[in-house]
């Protein structure tokens, strides 16, 4: 990881932690109350309104990137953990490791098949079987179950 990325990641973690703290919410609410109370002092002018609009817009704009960075890292970490659980479970369908790379139609088809399987009490799933078949065709980058976890 480059120095800039590492610094941004550290900053994003810290900013997300601070932003999610109840004291931060209380401070922001207090600032809004102070701003609203100062309205009569400034005659509810356009400048008075512009101050809060500009400030909140800038903060919101920057926080979108901080939150997205944090969400991306959390999602990736969860995905890796789930992949590991699927990989080490001997009866799991390893083709499910590639679900995050599929489009919405493929996911909906697989989900519907699993739901039908759950309702009907079937032990197998056509969607999972076709998914396994598709995963075998994906080429050299595919993930495989190790010999220790193979059926």
**What is the tens place of the pLDDT at every residue in 91-133?**
888 878 888 888 999 999 988 988 998 887 655 555 555 655 5
Angle between helices 22-37 and 46-88 in degrees, nearest 10? 160
Which of 6, 14, 29 is CA-nearest to residue 63? 14
Q: pLDDT digits over 49-92, tens only?
A: 999 999 999 999 999 999 999 999 999 999 899 889 988 888 88
Q: How far is CA 11 from CA 5, 29, 70, 130, in A?
A: 10, 23, 10, 44
The tokens 């065709």 sit on which residue? 137
Look at residue 148 in the predicted model and tell me its pLDDT: 42
The tokens 């356009």 sit on which residue? 46
Cβ-contact 70, 12 below 8 angstroms? yes
- Can you tell me the distance from the alpha carbon of 38 to that of 43, in angstroms, rounded to the nearest whole number? 9
Q: How many CA atoms lie within 13 A of 88 on its CB side?
A: 5
């Amino acid at each position: 990881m480059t120095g800039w990325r590492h610094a941004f990641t550290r900053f994003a973690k810290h900013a997300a932690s601070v932003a999610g703290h109840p004291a931060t919410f209380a401070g922001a609410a207090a600032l809004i109350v102070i701003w609203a109370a100062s309205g009569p002092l400034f005659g509810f002018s356009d400048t008075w309104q512009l101050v809060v609009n500009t400030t909140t817009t800038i903060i919101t704009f920057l926080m979108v990137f901080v939150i997205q960075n944090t969400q991306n890292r959390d999602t990736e970490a969860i995905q890796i953990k789930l992949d590991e659980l699927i990989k080490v479970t001997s009866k799991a369908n390893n083709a499910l490791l590639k679900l995050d790379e599929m489009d919405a139609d493929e996911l909906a088809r697989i989900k519907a098949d699993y739901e039908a399987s759950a309702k009907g009490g079937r032990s197998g799933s056509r969607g999972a079987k076709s998914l396994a078949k598709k995963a075998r065709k994906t080429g050299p980058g595919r993930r495989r179950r190790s010999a220790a976890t193979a059926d």
